[in-house]
Amino acid sequence: MRHAASADRRTQPLPRLPRECAPFLDFVQALRRHGFAVAPDQTVSFLAAVALLGPKSMEHIRRAAIATLAPPLDRQSTFDALFRAVFFGEARVAAVQNEEEEEILVKDQGGAEAVGEILLQREKGGAHASAAERLSTRAFDNRERSLRAFQRQLPDALPRRRTFRHLRTRSKGMIDLRRSFRDIVHADGDLASPRLRRRKEIARRLLLIIDISGSMREHTDGLLELAHAAVQAAPGTEVFTIGTRLSRITTALRSRDRAQALERAAVSVDDWDGGTRIGPSLKAFLAVPRFVALARGSLVVLASDGLERGGHAEFESAVRRLSALANRLSLATPLAGDPRFRPETAALASILPWLDDLVDGSSGEALARFILSLGRQAPRAAVLRKEEAHAARH
C-alpha cells in the first residue's frame, strides 16, 4: 500500500505556481546562468520569505534574496546587477532611436552601481561612418600568438605615481618622527639612527578604449588579444569597447585562458562591427562617475580610426575632458600605419591639441610597442617643457 501511495504521488501533476511568481523564478534562473549555486530548497525559501514579508519595497525583496539565496561576498555586485536587470530592467542607458534623438547603451557586467539614463543628442550622418545600430556577436579565432614578452615587460614599463602611504626604508627617505621618538623612549633617550620612510609608488592605471565599429573590423581581434594580455599583466587595467554602445569588458578579460576570455567578451558585447558614435559613447563614459574615477590620473589609450559621423563637437568636447582627467591621453589609429597619413579630417584636427600621442594602432604588436614606451615622456609634454625653458631664459 505504501509503494502504491508513493506511485500515485509521483504520477500526480505538480501544482502550478501563480503568475506573479514568474519574476522571482526568472531571477533564480538568471543567477544559475551566471554561475551562482542556487538549490531548489533555497528557491522555495526565497518565495516563502517574500510571501511572509509582504514586501512594501523592492529593497525588502532584495534583502530576502540575499538572506535565502546567500550570494558569495566577492560576487555581491554581480548579484545586485542581475537583481536590477530582472526587476528594474537592464541597468543601462536605453538605446532608442527616432528622428529627433538617440541614446547610448552603457553595459557593465562587473559594475557596483546602476547607471542612470543619459540622453545623447543625435547628429546627422557622415560620409565614412554610420550610426545605424547593427547588433551581432562574434566568434574569435583562437590564434596562438605569443604575448608573453609583453606581459612580462608591462608591469615595469608603466610609469609610476606616489601614493599617500609610506614605507619603511633604510636610505633615501625622510625621517619618520613618530617611530623615531618611540625608539628614543624605549632606548631611554638613546637613538643609534633615526627611522626613515618614503612614499609608496604604484604603477599608473592603463585604460584602453577600443573602437569595435565596422571600419575597425580588421584590427579588433588583435587589439582585444592585447587588452587581455594587459589585464593579466597589470591587474588595474580597465578595458571598454565603443561602437554604437559603450561596454566594459574588464571582468570578461580577467579569465587567464585567452580563448575563454575573448569568448566571454564576444558574448557580453552586442554591437560588433556596427556603426560609429565615438563622441556620444565617450560622453556616456564621462557621465558615469565610477568610470570617470577610473580615468583620473590614468594612461588612457583610445584605439580608433577617428572616423566620427556628422559633426565632431561631442567628440572634441569628450576628448578635451578626458585630457584633463588623464595623466596621458593617446590616440592609436590604424590610419597612422601608412607613412602618408596626415590628421587632416575635421574630427582628428579638432582633437589634436588635446592629445599627448597620435600613434600607429594598425595591429596589436604596434600598440604593444607603444604601451611599453609609456614610461618615457610624451612628445607633446617634452616640446612644452622645452618651450617653457626657452621662454624662461629669454
Give the DSSP per-residue string, 8-19: HHHHSPPPPPPG
Cell of 29: 534562473
> Residue 332: what pLDDT?
92
pLDDT of 68 over the 80 cut: yes
Distance CA 244, CA 97 (A): 11
- 229: domain CATH number is 3.40.50.410
Is the pLDDT at 203 greater than 60? The verdict is yes
Q: What is the mean pLDDT of residues 241-259?
A: 90
**pLDDT above 70: residue 14:** no
Predicted confidence (pLDDT) at residue 380 exceeds the cutoff of 70: no
Asked if residue 132 is part of any domain, the answer here is no
Q: What is the pLDDT of residues 330-345, one digit of tens each?
A: 999 998 888 888 888 8
Same domain, 197 and 320: no
| Domain coverage including residue 35 | 17-87
- What's the total number of domains in the chain? 3
For residues 196 and 208, state if they share a domain. no
Are residues 220 and 248 located together in one domain of the fold? yes
Q: Do 253 and 374 have their domain in common? A: yes
pLDDT surpasses 60 at 134:
no
Together in a domain, 245 and 193: no
In this structure, the answer to whether residues 190 and 282 fall within a common structural domain is no
Closest to 36 (Cα-Cα) out of 3, 84, 82: 82
List % helix, strand, coil for the chain (3-state, nearest 5). 45, 15, 35
Find the mean pLDDT for residues 92-104.
41
Coil/strand/helix, residue 209: strand
Please check whether residue 43 lies inside any domain of the structure.
yes
Alpha-helical (H) ranges within the chain are 2-11, 22-33, 40-53, 58-69, 76-87, 148-157, 177-186, 217-233, 250-253, 258-268, 278-286, 289-295, 313-325, 346-351, 364-372, 379-393
pLDDT at 355 > cutoff 60: yes
pLDDT (average), residues 285-295: 91
Q: What is the pLDDT of residue 4?
A: 47
Residue 394 pLDDT class (50, 70, 90 cuts): low
Q: For residues 387 and 241, give the distance between their C-alpha atoms in angstroms, rounded to a whole number.
A: 37
Q: Identify whether residues 189 and 227 lie together within a single domain.
A: no
Average pLDDT of 218-237? 91
In this prediction, residues 266-295 reach a mean pLDDT of 88
Q: Which pLDDT score is estimated for 230? A: 93
Categorize the per-residue pLDDT at 110 as very low, low, confident or very high, splitting at 50, 70 and 90.
low
> CB count, 10 Å around CB of 376?
10
Same domain, 169 and 214: no
Q: Which of 33-42, 101-110, 167-176, 380-389 has the highest mean pLDDT?
A: 33-42
Domain-located, residue 257: yes
Give yes or no: residues 259 and 193 share one domain.
no
Enter the pTM of the model: 0.61
Question: pLDDT: is 268 or 107 the higher one?
Answer: 268
Share of the chain above pLDDT 70, in %: 70
Q: What's the start-to-end Cα distance of the chain, in Å?
A: 109
- What pLDDT was estimated at residue 38? 84
- For 236, residues 6+ apart whose C-beta sits below 8 A from its C-beta are 203, 205, 206
58 vs 84: CA distance, rounded Å: 10
Q: Tell me what pLDDT residue 141 has.
A: 41
